[in-house]
Amino acid sequence: MQKSFLPFAGLTAARPLRSWLKKLGPGLITGAADDDPSGIATYSQAGAQFGLNLLWTMFFTYPLMVGIQIISARIGRVTGKGLAGNIRLHYPRALLYAIVGLLLAANTINIAADVAAMGDALALLAGGPAHLYAAGFGIVSLLLQVFVPYSRYVRLLKWLTLGLLAYVGVAFAVQISWPQVGLALIAPKLEWNAATITTVVAVFGTTISPYLFFWQASQEVEEMQATPGRQPLIEAPEQARAGFRRIRIDTALGMGFSNLVAFFIILTTAVTLHAHGIDTIQTSADAATALRPIAGEFAFLLFAAGIIGTGLLAVPVLAGSAAYAMAGAFDWKKGLEHKPAMAKRFYAIIAVSTLAGVALGFMPIDPIKALYWSAVVNGVISVPIMAVMMLMSARVAVMGRFVITRRLKWLGWLATGAMALAVVAMFATLGQG
């Protein structure tokens, strides 16, 4: 079925807002979860260190992100299985276990960084012990995933996406020269050295992240199973037109929201921290603290509160994507709609990854290394995962008549190639010292 991947094809202005909102789900939550506290720290570091000169990355990554996420969503919707389940059926087990193992390790480190940032943010706002706050956030997130059914929990996650608007608000709480912003987008001033390229890879890695692929594919399966009458498209091809159209809208808006927020984080830290000579950010909470004397109390409060909201959204996505990957790899029963007794091993992975992340927060780990290098690692491991997704989505044995369109194929391979080139360039410059 050769349908355009363009996100708004077929929409008319006459459609009511309610019909739009109903189409938002896996794509919106996936995009919003991308701006987690670890991502906020990476974007803040990019703005503080390079000013306005890395704003272009958000425009460059947007179409690539939309393309690769649509592909992951299609794999889930067409086959009725997540990425790991499809890899298990069609590729060597060694490849599957390597991918899932790297994903689990990266996600656990990300959870540790995120809950620590949430604890620090609450300590900034209310005082008190940051470590205990972090543990509390991790445990609350775990309990919500375990005891709230998916159909109710997903509505909570949708509301949490509104917390990201705090970062748009911060930008309008400070003075910005928009002509300078436009000039930086058209002609950024950069020295292409190890620091610049590593930061670009970190930005790419935190924007196009492996856990997002696994989460969105699995959420398409959850949505299908939770909706009466829906079946995998390979079994119910008559549902394809509406299904693909919803995926395009949901993913384009979700990734647009994600990149818009990231753009404003880079912009805010560039015109405040970088402009005042602050070029090193240890954590997202450090970025909030540094904003206080420069941009004022309101900007500080918005930035710090946003860290908590985004963390509450991202931690379940990180833990959930790890659980979906493990369960798919070993063919365990899985799904947030199931009660814990019905999917014990699936929920055990959620518990282990969340609690391990909380425990890591109590260890003497350098926060900048945990945050920044986790984004770099995500960028590196994204490449083989994206390559497997592209091969899988073009196989008739996997997708039947719904192999991806030529346009999506070009876009997906462009995203994979761009990520691969960035990683190769990073290692080349690091090797030169």
> What is the per-residue pLDDT for 3?
43
Q: Bin 10: left if φ > 0, else alpha if -120 < ψ < 50, else beta.
A: left
Give the list of residues 6+ apart from residue 424 with CB closer than 8 angstroms, or none. none
Q: Please write the tens of the pLDDT for every residue from 63-98.
A: 999 999 999 999 999 999 999 999 999 999 999 998
Rounded to 10 deg, the angle between the 210-226 and 93-126 helix axes is 90
What is the average pLDDT score of the chain?
83
Q: What is the mean pLDDT of residues 293-320?
A: 82
Higher-pLDDT residue of 277, 362: 277
Q: Please write the tens of the pLDDT for every residue from 144-188.
A: 888 877 667 667 776 666 667 777 777 777 788 889 999 999 888
Q: Please write the tens of the pLDDT for every residue from 356-400.
A: 988 887 777 665 566 666 666 777 788 889 999 999 999 999 999
169-182 burial, b at 16+ Cβ within 10 Å, e below that, comes to bbbebbebeeeebe
Rounded Cα distance, 107 and 98, in Å: 14
Higher-pLDDT residue of 360, 408: 408
Q: Where are the alpha helices (DSSP H) in 296-405?
A: 297-330, 344-360, 367-393, 396-399
> Three-state SS for 11?
coil
pLDDT at 309 over 90: no
> What is the per-residue pLDDT for 11?
43
Q: Please write the tens of the pLDDT for every residue from 111-129.
A: 888 888 888 889 988 888 9
In this structure, the number of other CB atoms found within 10 A of the CB of residue 136 comes to 16
Q: Please write the tens of the pLDDT for every residue from 15-39.
A: 554 555 555 667 777 777 777 887 8
Rounded Cα distance, 167 and 163, in Å: 8
Q: What is the mean pLDDT of residues 239-254?
A: 91
Q: Bin 51: left if φ > 0, else alpha if -120 < ψ < 50, else beta.
A: left
> What is the per-residue pLDDT for 370?
65
Cβ atoms of residues 28 and 254 within 8 Å: yes
Confidence of residue 12 (pLDDT cuts 50, 70, 90): very low
Confidence of residue 427 (pLDDT cuts 50, 70, 90): confident
Q: The dihedral of CA 83, 85, 87, 90: what is its sign?
A: negative
Q: Please write the tens of the pLDDT for every residue from 190-233.
A: 888 878 888 888 788 778 888 889 989 998 998 888 788 899 99
